[in-house]
Amino acid sequence: MNVGTNVLPDAPLAAPLRAPTLIPATRHFYWALRREFWENRWIYLAPLAVAALFLVGFLISVVHLPREMRALAGLDPGKQRGTIIEPYDTAAALLMGTFILVAMFYSIEALQRERRDRSILFWKSLPVSDSTTVLAKASIPFVVLPLLACAIAFVTEFIMLLLGSAVLAGSGLPVAGYWKAVSLFQGSLLLLYHVMTVHVLWSAPVYGWLLLVSAWARRAAFLWAVLPPLGICALEKLLFNTAHFAAFLGHFFTGGTEGLYAPGTLPMDPATHLTPGRFLGTLGLWLGLGVTAVFLGLAVRLRRRRGPV
């Protein structure tokens, strides 16, 4: 009796292992940045709300524009233009101030909040480095918010210009002079330049300091960021009756050479003289940016070591 040999069928060849797909660092940064918009919707809702409220007020007051334009007919062109652009300058200044406040409050909360609500445990489980996370958060006050504020200011002023033109045209008055006086595009570019130079580049150490304190403090980050400098100012005043440290801190809010403009004008005024070469050649600007880089580097190290609070 022949015993048949059981021959096992050939096992299927195993599928070749594929190397894991590497996600570019730019993709990590993009999603880290989108995370900030998901978790902090108020950073764009706040300037939008301010712009909407100002438009409501302008809509109420624009009914008096034809009477004001007739009253301006006898004045010199400089005074005419100053009166016409006053609400536009007010809108731009209001949104610029909103940007500064939102940027500061965001910076002081950015790295402490994720430890306080323990969401840091989830985000640390993802393949996103601490450097990418901190840089994404820093890009909000340094890039996203100033561009967003200037864009909202431009749209707001454009709507104001359309409303004013419609009212003037309905009253039988020419609108060409009104558009020329407003100089919307020129004023918007000057506003963007002023914000980026004075309130971003020159003030960069302020945002860097706030982000560093946010990464370090376990509680009350705002107090830890504000009270030590105030205490040094008060101690210097009591001991030496001087205010050198206060002047040093105020230096970061003045904007250097680009923060100076003619009395009675705003940085959006077409007569503003721009000196980008002198501004970029200022030693204080680069020292401040160097200090900002140190602050952000320390914030990265602290985030790597800190856990939830």
Reported as a single tens digit per residue, the pLDDT across 128-172 is 788 888 899 999 999 999 999 999 999 999 999 999 999 988 888
Q: Where residue 1 falls among pLDDT bands split at 50, 70, 90?
A: very low
Q: How many CB atoms lie within 10 A of CB 146?
A: 22
Q: What is the pTM of this model?
A: 0.84
Q: Which residue has the tokens 């967003």?
A: 148
Residue 19: per-residue pLDDT:
47
Residue 120: per-residue pLDDT:
73
Residue 291: per-residue pLDDT:
94
Using N-to-C axis directions, what is the helix angle for 42-61 and 145-170, rounded to 10°? 20
Q: What average pLDDT score do residues 104-121 get?
A: 83
Read off the pLDDT of residues 174-208 as tens digits, 9 standing for 90 and up: 888 888 888 889 888 989 999 999 899 999 999 99
Q: Running DSSP on this structure, what letter comes out for residue 175?
A: S
Q: Is 3 left (phi over 0), alpha (psi -120 to 50) or beta?
A: beta
